[in-house]
Chain A
């Protein structure tokens, strides 16, 4: 089975940097995804890590350590529009298992 753990909520100031952590336990691993979800909307794809290390994509970076069952998403130069829930999802056994998401609230 799969077990995914994420902290629930954080508040940060516009322009700041925020790190969102995700730990997981899974019997099969084919990669880890990060999605952004605004309230009442479907998730949108942010990043995909299958090998250890850091993947950088503009203001967003994602890191994976498979041996530790750990990933983080780094959001730089926070903007008001980044206020959303950030979901990590582990791919394995032909399915995606989602964490509950971390709600990020960006304040001026």
Chain B
């Protein structure tokens, strides 16, 4: 149980284009979804927290107009990287916490999306 999927797993795009990443909880309802970014050999850095039906809360230094987050249902959140640039190339990972009986404390992670901006 508590499976989270992400799509796509890898994406290569040209500088200036937008990329959408989907995060789905497959077998549970996710009250909260989190978006992280991880650069090589670095820790996971939280970008934003989103609750279904409300606006995402962005961490300091993360541009909300560049990283658009939509959490339209209890099983789907999307992250859109707008006008991507090479410095946005990274590993983007989502996670979700559940509705009881699924644990409300443990974050379950998706498999990640490797974004490369040329």
Interface residues of A (CB under 8 A from B): 30-31, 33, 35, 40-45, 48, 50, 87, 91, 94-101
Contact = CB atoms under 8 A, between A and B. Distances in A.
A95 B49 CA distance: 8
B43 A43 contact: no
A98 B43 contact: yes
B105 A30 contact: yes
A30 B108 CA distance: 16
B107 A100 contact: no
B114 A100 contact: no
A101 B41 CA distance: 9
What class of interface size applies to chain B in its complex with A? Answer: 20 to 34
B49 A91 contact: no
A96 B93 CA distance: 13
B42 interface: yes
Contacts of B93: 42-43
A100 B112 contact: no
Given A94-B49, A96-B34, A45 B106 contact: yes
Contacts of B13: none
Given A41-B112, A42-B111, A95-B49, A87 B44 contact: yes
A33 B49 CA distance: 18
B98 interface: no
A81 to B, nearest CB: 17
Contacts of B49: 94-95
A95 B46 contact: yes
Given A87-B44, A94-B49, A98-B45, 18 more contacts: A31-B105, A35-B109, A40-B91, A40-B112, A40-B114, A42-B93, A42-B109, A42-B112, A43-B93, A43-B109, A45-B108, A95-B46, A96-B34, A98-B44, A99-B43, A100-B42, A100-B43, A101-B43
